């Protein structure tokens, strides 16, 4: 009666069905009451939370200008423009990653004196946030995501050839595409979000990464791209190798 009440339900996708039914029943009947119910839920997670009849706002990444501003607040003047643009592109505007990535890089990398790694290092919090959706996929579909994350061509012929080299059939790629984590056309294939690519690659074991690079080397040799094939063979090596 005296003041508005705000109730926030975080991670609503993890609610059990009975609890989800109760809070949504309440939310749909609060029209005249001074109570505001706000739910946060992650897309792409199998869940019993179905907020039909509740106003919905889909959050996307920050735009480039806001991303640069957040990076500047976090890292100060240490970041050079080229590094800023790489981080903005690699995070897709994800605020958590923009806040935590600078702490994972060296001073030389932040100042542009040392090159940034191909796969940006993610904190455990960021990695886990982007791994949740991939972990519900079958092992073959997760391997498809790893090959696509390690690939730098975006060529569907190369990725398919590499996954077949690993003994993975096309159904696994279809599963990865259906999950929304992998985008594929007749000619191109890409992990949909750059942070998913980094998270999948970093979470893989050393052996899994070597296997993916070795398979990509074979696939690239098959299409005559010997330079890239050599780089992938090097990434698959366990020790100095002529």
**In whole angstroms, what is the distance from residue 97 CA to residue 84 CA?**
13
Q: How confident is the model at residue 222 (pLDDT cuts 50, 70, 90)?
A: very high
Q: How confident is the model at residue 14 (pLDDT cuts 50, 70, 90)?
A: confident
Of 42 and 84, more confident:
84
Q: How confident is the model at residue 19 (pLDDT cuts 50, 70, 90)?
A: very high
Instruction: Name the H helices within 28-155.
Output: 64-75, 81-91, 95-104, 107-110, 124-135, 139-150
User: What's the pLDDT tens digit per position in 61-94?
Assistant: 899 999 999 988 887 666 788 888 888 888 888 8
DSSP, collapsed to helix, strand or coil, labels residue 188 as strand
Q: 11-25, 91-105, 219-233 — which is least confidently predicted?
A: 91-105
User: What's the pLDDT tens digit per position in 146-184?
Assistant: 999 999 999 999 999 999 999 999 899 999 998 888 988
Q: For 187, phi and psi rounded to 5 degrees?
A: -120, -20
- How far from each other are the two terminal CA atoms of the chain, in whole angstroms? 78
Angle, alpha carbons 202-199-71 (nearest 5°): 115
Copy the structure tokens of residue 47: 């869940």
Question: Which pLDDT score is estimated for 122?
Answer: 79
Q: How confident is the model at residue 217 (pLDDT cuts 50, 70, 90)?
A: very high
- Mean pLDDT, to the nearest integer, of 46-74? 87
Stated pTM of the model: 0.72
Q: 3-7, 45-49, 163-167, 230-234 — which is least confidently predicted?
A: 45-49
């Amino acid at each position: 009666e005296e003041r508005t009440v705000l109730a926030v339900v975080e991670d609503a996708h993890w609610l059990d069905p009975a609890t989800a039914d109760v809070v949504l029943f309440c939310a749909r009947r609060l029209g005249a009451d001074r109570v505001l119910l706000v739910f946060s839920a992650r897309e792409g997670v199998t869940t019993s939370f179905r907020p039909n009849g509740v106003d919905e706002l889909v959050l996307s990444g920050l735009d480039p200008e806001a991303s640069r501003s957040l990076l500047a607040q976090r890292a100060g003047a240490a970041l050079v423009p080229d590094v800023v643009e790489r981080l903005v592109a690699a995070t897709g505007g994800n605020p958590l990653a923009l806040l935590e990535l600078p702490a994972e890089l060296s001073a030389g990398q932040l100042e542009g004196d040392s090159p940034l790694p191909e796969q940006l290092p993610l904190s455990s919090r960021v990695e886990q946030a982007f791994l949740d959706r991939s972990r519900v996929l079958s092992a073959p579909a997760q391997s498809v995501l790893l090959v696509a994350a390690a690939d730098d061509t975006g060529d569907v012929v190369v990725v398919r050839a590499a996954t077949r080299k690993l003994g993975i059939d096309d159904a696994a790629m279809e599963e990865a595409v259906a999950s929304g984590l992998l985008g594929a056309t007749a000619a191109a294939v890409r992990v949909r979000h750059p942070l998913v690519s980094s998270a999948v690659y970093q979470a893989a074991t050393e052996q899994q990464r070597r296997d993916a690079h070795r398979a990509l080397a074979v696939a690239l040799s098959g299409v005559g791209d010997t330079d890239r094939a050599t780089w992938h063979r090097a990434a698959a090596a366990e020790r100095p190798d002529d």
